[in-house]
Amino acid sequence: MEQKQFKPLDPLLHSELRLAVMSLLLEVEEADFVYLKKQTDATAGNLSVQLDKLSGAGYIEVEKTFRGKKPCTLCRMTDKGHEAFLAYVDALQSYILQANKQ
């Protein structure tokens, strides 16, 4: 029996919310917390935790600033995050190709 070789999936990106955030950041230069919260329909607490995890891995940069007197959290995908996202997509494609061979 032939052994199937699957590429490993990055567990950090395998989370639905973190994957959604990375997908959104792939399309824009930067996004603020309010935009990401609205687009993902996440709670503020959950989104904050997931952004911390992505930031801790070096996949995104988080900048806390102010717009007038209101706090504003801006997020940007890093080069490392971009590479990790592309590797994740490539790994998923390997699963799909394997399924199509059967």
102: pLDDT confidence band, cut at 50, 70 and 90?
A: low
What tokens does 11 get? 């567990």
With respect to residue 44, please indicate whether it lies within any of the assigned structural domains: yes
Task: Please give the tally of structural domains in the chain.
Answer: 1
Rg (CA), the chain: 16
| Other CB atoms within 10 Å distance of the CB of residue 34 | 12
Domain span at 63: 16-101
Q: Which CATH number is 76's domain given?
A: 1.10.10.10
Q: Give domain status of residue 8, yes or no.
A: no
Q: Establish if 4 belongs to a structural domain.
A: no
**Angle 63-50-55 (CA atoms, 0-180°, nearest 5)?**
40
Is 5 part of any domain?
Answer: no
pLDDT in tens, 25-83: 999 999 999 999 999 999 999 999 999 999 999 999 999 999 899 999 999 999 999 99
In-domain check, residue 41: yes
Classify residue 10: in a domain, yes or no: no
